[in-house]
């Protein structure tokens, strides 16, 4: 099964990586919708929140905490929004769970 984010994690597809640890990478989204648009991607492949094992769910929680701790380095001091698209109606196009991180301006709240 091919997965673009697994390929990015393995280094087979190039990306602008801004952070990496044992659990996740953070890359710049190739089609940004805000001045700052990162994707925080767990290294383990699963598509939906409910598919995560207990340890993967805990890793996800640590990742979000880590993101908050890296606000300054990532230019998120003025605030940021995290979004996880899940399924068709949410517009999920890549079946490898990822967290959009949007920042860099005052974001509006329309869908």
For residue 59, what is the enclosing H or E element?
helix 54-69
Catalytic residue among 37, 45, 96, 98: 98
Q: Under rule CB under 5 A, which residues in 40-99 are in contact with Zn ion?
A: 45, 96
Please tell me the distance from the alpha carbon of residue 3 to that of residue 1, in angstroms, as a whole number: 7
Active site residue 98: yes
Closest CA to 40 of 104, 107, 109, 94: 94
Q: Find the binder of Zn ion among 5, 41, 67, 80 (CB under 5 A).
A: 5
The CA radius of gyration of the chain, in Å to the nearest whole number, is 14
Q: Which does 3 bind (CB under 5 to 8 A by kind): Zn ion, ligand AMP, none?
A: Zn ion
Q: Site residues (CB under 6 A) for ligand AMP?
A: 4, 13, 15, 27, 29-31, 39, 85, 91-94
């Amino acid at each position: 099964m091919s997965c673009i984010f697994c390929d990015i994690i393995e280094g087979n597809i190039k990306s602008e990586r801004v952070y990496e640890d044992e659990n996740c990478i953070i890359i710049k989204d190739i089609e940004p919708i805000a001045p700052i648009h990162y994707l925080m991607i767990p290294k383990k492949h699963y598509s939906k929140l409910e598919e995560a094992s207990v340890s993967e769910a805990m890793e996800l929680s640590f990742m979000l905490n880590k993101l908050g701790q890296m606000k300054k380095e990532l230019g998120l001091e003025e605030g940021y929004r995290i979004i996880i698209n899940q399924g068709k109606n949410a517009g999920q196009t890549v079946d490898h769970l990822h967290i959009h991180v949007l920042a860099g301006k005052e974001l509006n709240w329309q869908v």
